[in-house]
Structure 1
Amino acid sequence: MKDDARELVSAAESLLRPAPGAAGQLGPGVRARAAAVLLRLALDQRLDDFWHGIAPAMTRKAKHRMLCLEAYADRGTARRWRLTWSALSGVCHHRVPELPPVPAEIHARLLEVRTLLDALDGAPPAATAVTRVPAPGLLADRTTAPAATPAREPRVGRPAPKPGPPPG
């Protein structure tokens, strides 16, 4: 099986460390931004491959597939995946007043992407990773009725407080 995600990471590394004669063709900021795009694509590709083996419909839902990763991989890997993807996504969007990314920063992200790809390769199979929890209405051992919520008196004369930080 061809590993497209690893090929994208290799292409990103070749952009960050160009051959001696090719360094002058593109500036370091352009190379770093292009490498960031390739690294983000590598994360997307591996996540698509991962979900295709578990639930093929998840490959169509971009945000949900990252949020649901925690149920199939460990919490730290899922969190680092979201953080790395978000950081690379921010670098990929070109904004005129911002400076281009530094190649050393993107190289650090490259190492993180490699670690994440390895971690997702070692994720447990879907059958052992998910614990099914019954819906609240289907609990058979429930013997007491739920406690009633006490009614609150409406406030008269004062406006409702605005949401914000707690006082103090």
Structure 2
Amino acid sequence: MSGRRGPASGGHSARYRRRGPKNGAHGPRVPRPAVAERLETVELLLSGSVSDAGGLWSRATAWILRIALEQSVDELWLRVAPALVRCPMRAQLIALRAFAGPDIAARVAVLWAALSRAAHHHDYELAPSVTELRRWCEQTLALATELEAVAAHRG
């Protein structure tokens, strides 16, 4: 294991990476799991059905929830403003106010910040509790549904 922190592909998150040959050839994109599939995985982790996650399950759950939330935002952008998908998430959260309204944008921003904080390990903080993770899962599902409705209305 290297001592490197963060994504292995030069700082870009996994949602921008292509899977395939590393020799510079661009292969076909591998379809990513749907938001619903990610939330099903979260339920498996929360129920204890995934036994090989060890002590990492709670932070892994927070990461999956954050990815699902980001994917929901991406899906909105792909329908209403495709260029925004390439912007950093903080910029997307600012733009979200104009497209989804201040209430939804604020709720997405607060949840994204909470998931980001929970997903990173700090020696002085406890891992997120099952109660927190369940609440964040419910919020992620609700916001994904609301963002889908915004996309359908505006698209």
What are the within-5 Å matches in structure 2 for residues 1-150 of structure 1? 4-19=34-49, 23=51, 26-27=54-55, 30-62=56-88, 63-123=90-150, 124-125=153-154
Cα offset, 1:3, TM superposition: 6.4
Secondary structure at the counterpart of residue 99 of structure 1: coil
Secondary structure at the counterpart of residue 113 of structure 1: helix
Secondary structure at the counterpart of residue 122 of structure 1: helix
Q: Percent of aligned pairs with the same residue?
A: 30
Cα offset, 1:36, TM superposition: 0.5
- Judged with a 3 Å threshold, the aligned counterparts in structure 2 of structure 1 residues 96 and 114 are, in CA distance, closer, same or farther, namely same
Secondary structure at the counterpart of residue 87 of structure 1: helix
Cα offset, 1:49, TM superposition: 1.5
Considering only CA atoms, is the larger Rg found in Structure 1 or Structure 2? 1
Q: State how far apart, in whole Å, the 2-side matches of 1:105 and 1:23 are.
A: 20
Greater helix content: 2
Q: State how far apart, in whole Å, the 2-side matches of 1:80 and 1:3 are.
A: 23
Q: State how far apart, in whole Å, the 2-side matches of 1:117 and 1:47 are.
A: 8
User: Which letter maps to 1:13?
Assistant: E
TM-score normalised by L of structure 2: 0.71
Cα offset, 1:97, TM superposition: 2.1
Structure 1, unpaired ranges of 5+: 127-168
- Judged with a 3 Å threshold, the aligned counterparts in structure 2 of structure 1 residues 24 and 54 are, in CA distance, closer, same or farther, namely closer
Structure 2, unpaired ranges of 5+: 1-30
Which residue does 2:10 correspond to in 1? none
Q: State how far apart, in whole Å, the 2-side matches of 1:118 and 1:106 are.
A: 18
User: Which letter maps to 2:42?
Assistant: A
The 4+ residue runs of structure 1 with deviation greater than 6 A are: none
The one-character-per-residue Cα deviations of 1:6-61 (angstroms, maximum 9, x if unpaired) are 21111111111123xx558623xx21211100000001111111111222211111
User: Which letter maps to 1:53?
Assistant: R
- Judged with a 3 Å threshold, the aligned counterparts in structure 2 of structure 1 residues 25 and 121 are, in CA distance, closer, same or farther, namely closer
User: Which letter maps to 1:9?
Assistant: L
User: Which letter maps to 1:43?
Assistant: L
User: Which letter maps to 2:149?
Assistant: G
Aligned residue pair count: 122
